[in-house]
Structure 1
Amino acid sequence: MIKTLGLSALIAASLLLTLGIWNYKPNYDETENVESNYTDEPLEAGQEETKKSIIEPSKIIFQTNGTFSSFENRNDQEAFYQEMQEWLLAGFDQGIQTDQELPDSDEYTAQLIFPLEVPAGAIRDLFSMEENTINQVQRGSFDRIYLNENNSGTVELVFYNTEARMSMHAEAQNAGAADVLDSYTDMDGKMDYIEYAESAGAPIYIPQGEPEINDLTFSVDTFTTITDLEPLLNNLFTDRDIMTSNRMEGGGKSYSDSIRELRAYESEKYMEYVNPLPENRTIEGSELVNQTINFLNAHRGWTNSANDEYQLYNMNVQRNEVTYRLVYNEYPVFGQNDKQATIQITWRNQPYKYDRPLFKLGEAFDYGEPPDLPSGEEIAGYLEDTKGSSSIKDIALGYKLIDEGISIRLMPAWFKQDTTGWSELDLSEMSGLGEE
């Protein structure tokens, strides 16, 4: 009888313990297991891109009898470039030529200016090429393309590197290439540009007159919740079962598998990801662009709208680092926190670092008046009079991104590029320019 009662008590205790385990809900306070449905769905409203759509010139300048102009309607610039990309290129027979002088203005009809040194290997992705010429574009880089109609009625292209003074020459084989160049050179609706030639390297081209681009305010679609981030988390973490999340001080969440970490800043609308991989070999520039584009395409990380896009804007091959910048209507966007305006990836066979915005521009609901900015002539005069302006590589009109919480404002401003990168021109140093 005693043994039976003891055995019954043990069985009852076992059943109670089992029920307790089944019904136990752990309390991790701010740390919790992150469940995953392992969906292959991409980022909402994201899309895929190619080198052709990502590598674009920031300016296209036409030269006629010593005067310079460009498109007033920025959509015409993109249309011209897309027609160029249909050309079949031949030549490159001489390969890279060194110690080349910058072409004189009477030696070309148009020039395409890129915001960085583009790897020469990208030429075969941007244009069609004859098979026997592909090996000629394996090395080198360019930041300008000069176009000119030669005596035979075909268009010659000079891919030029202003820093290294190297060039590669090719010829468009399309019968209509010269007609395309002529039609855009002679088209109406152009605006005049000032050539400022006292800068470092190649001349700078500044639009004449007062800027006429509006102050814009947009609604925003953010993707900062666990559901929104699901495609990124599945793409960046190999084992979601061991992942935990923590609420960060100041807002936002961090996700970690004890090795990798993704920090999503909700109020600031951007994220930072790090995967502490060991040092890796330097990757050739064209391959670095390929790898990062493929990575972003895997989760459709290009979250742009009809009038905005991301363009390749900077690359550091020594650090395996690539920056894609938000561009609105062909005008570059620079953020007060630039992580809101760029996708930046450091690559080591997989992403070592990955910083990006966590929002997409919605509808523009407020078109403010054009701000009172200095004219192009005033900017050129400022450069002429200012010590240190010789270090400036380029001047551009663009937008300053201002985060207003439930909306994003794009405010027109002048920006400069020097050896440290891009920054807004300090108008306070310009003897009252831009002030009412």
Structure 2
Amino acid sequence: MKSETVKTVILACLIGLSFLLTLAIWNYQPNIEPNDDNEEAMEAIFTNGEQETKKNIVQPFNVIYHLEGNEHTGYADKSKEKQLYEQMQSWSLYDFNTDYSGEGLQKYDSPYVELIFPTELPADIIADVFTVDETTSLPNSSFDRIYVSLNKDISERQVIFKSAQSDITISANIQNPEDEINEVLNTYNSGEESPIDYIPYEVNNDQVVYLPNKVDMKELAFRYRIIPIEPLKTVLFTNPSNVISAEEIPKVERFTDGDREMIYYDEKYMEFTDMVNSDITEENLEGTELLDQTLKFINDHNGWTSEGKYEFVLSELNQSSKTVQFRRVYSGFPVYKSNELSVISVTWNNQNIYKYSRPLIQLDDAYQVNKKTLEDVDSIISTLENSPEYKSKTILDVALGYKLEEGEFDQYFKLTPTWFIKDYSGWSEFIPLDQKVGGVHNAMGSN
């Protein structure tokens, strides 16, 4: 057989084999389940979590009515405060004006209501939280107080936004002020049979805080559920399949991909750090932008895990550290004990998450209620003014809240009504004079 004929036969065989292989590839059906995008998305969210809006998470911690005769009162039922705030959010505010003279509040006579927020808020958030015209231009300022005149005869500037640290005031008119103010007064007069009296007390920098003279708070016990950690691995690590884990000490597990790490404490709390993103930059994030991107980040994995009488609300918006914190609140009272179990904290750098820490417990309904006797206001003031330890501190705030503690045998958590003091190191439990041993006992650390 000639060599040319052999080459032709071989070439024909190769072409035929290629054709058969091509048909086999076309007709091969691998036994793989189709990828379900929805299922993948579900793995990256908390199944029992929710999304939130700025209107809901930006809330005052206190509402004080300043009445004639130097009387300071408020609602015994804290849910009434939230009801009033939601009512105000529906008002139409217009004709905003900025006063830099420091005299914006001097014209305010009783009666008026004061809403006190736990952190400084950028002025432009007013347009997101309240009802204002889209063309309204707001100044580059901030506020942590809102004052609403309850004088039905006042013709303008019924609402004032002000920071306790600044003389700048932002004032606005209310559309149909007589109707809205009447509704506030009617709500207070008809819905509050036994109002709480507040005692004004001056703290650092001539700031005044208001201490409730008598509050009916009870110690509560809750069963709880563990929030699974798995969705956060998908959210926080670029490639979750590369993440390895190790138990460093009992009940403490460390997850890492070499660049990022997440520490998982006793299934109840986690803290994440992006070690590659640790070089602090000088980027300037505006307050509203910082809050917006934090809210979006938590919403993207349904990170709001509260329901019923407890929720998370904005407690700190720090532009210099690019940190946003949300504190657990129960029935309107903040939970100060143990940041690990009461605060969601997010820190940004280079437009990415640098640190993220949060509790991973979800409290069920209270199943046990015990009476709790609190120190009266006179005792609080006497200790602050006579204790050498407290006199040496710079007191920034005094508040009633709940102390969150694990119950016996790790079967439940309890909330105990407690007085708290804030200085530059954070919030700490108030210790009466007769319980002090060798100085102030800080049961919480820096919170």
Q: Once the two structures are superposed, what CA deviation does each residue of 1:117-147 show, in whole Å capped at 9, x if it has no partner?
A: 11212111110112332x224x111111111
Match of 1:274 in 2: 273
Give the Cα separation in 1 of the matches to 2:259 and 2:436: 52
- 1:37-436, aligned counterparts within 5 Å? 38-41=40-43, 42-65=45-68, 66-93=70-97, 95=98, 97-100=100-103, 103=106, 106-133=109-136, 135-137=137-139, 139-148=140-149, 149=151, 151-152=153-154, 156-174=158-176, 176-187=179-190, 188-189=192-193, 190-197=195-202, 199-209=204-214, 211-223=215-227, 228-266=228-266, 269-276=268-275, 277=277, 278-280=279-281, 281-335=283-337, 337-348=338-349, 349-370=351-372, 372-386=373-387, 388=391, 391-404=394-407, 405-428=410-433
Q: 1:171 to 1:381 in 2, by over 3 A?
A: farther
Offset at residue 55 of structure 1 (A): 0.8
| Length-normalised TM-score, structure 1 | 0.82
Give the Cα separation in 2 of the matches to 1:160 and 1:201: 15
Identity of aligned residues (%): 30
Q: 1:182 to 1:367 in 2, by over 3 A?
A: same
After superposition, the CA RMSD in angstroms is 2.3
Q: 1:314 to 1:85 in 2, by over 3 A?
A: same
How many matched pairs?
A: 385
Give the Cα separation in 1 of the matches to 2:59 and 2:83: 11
Check whether the contact 1:214–1:369 (CA below 8 A) recurs between aligned residues: yes
Q: Supply the AA of the counterpart residue of 2:246.
A: N
Q: Which has the higher contact order (CA 8 A, sep 6+)?
A: 1
Q: 1:430 to 1:104 in 2, by over 3 A?
A: farther
Offset at residue 389 of structure 1 (A): 7.9
Give the Cα separation in 2 of the matches to 1:141 and 1:413: 30
Q: Supply the AA of the counterpart residue of 2:220.
A: L
Q: Once the two structures are superposed, what CA deviation does each residue of 1:326-371 show, in whole Å capped at 9, x if it has no partner?
A: 0000001022x3111100110121210001001100121111112x
Give the Cα separation in 2 of the matches to 1:150 and 1:391: 40
Unaligned runs of 5+ in 2: 1-38, 438-447
Give the Cα separation in 2 of the matches to 1:38 and 1:279: 33
Greater mean deviation of Cα atoms: 390-399 or 272-281: 390-399
Check whether the contact 1:108–1:146 (CA below 8 A) recurs between aligned residues: no
Offset at residue 179 of structure 1 (A): 1.9
Check whether the contact 1:63–1:105 (CA below 8 A) recurs between aligned residues: no
Match of 1:22 in 2: none
Q: Once the two structures are superposed, what CA deviation does each residue of 1:172-197 show, in whole Å capped at 9, x if it has no partner?
A: 21453222222234333321111223
Give the Cα separation in 1 of the matches to 2:222 and 2:339: 18
Check whether the contact 2:52–2:299 (CA below 8 A) recurs between aligned residues: yes
Check whether the contact 1:154–1:178 (CA below 8 A) recurs between aligned residues: no
Q: 1:333 to 1:81 in 2, by over 3 A?
A: same
Give the Cα separation in 2 of the matches to 1:431 and 1:256: 43
Give the Cα separation in 2 of the matches to 1:365 and 1:431: 33
| Length-normalised TM-score, structure 2 | 0.80
Check whether the contact 2:66–2:110 (CA below 8 A) recurs between aligned residues: no
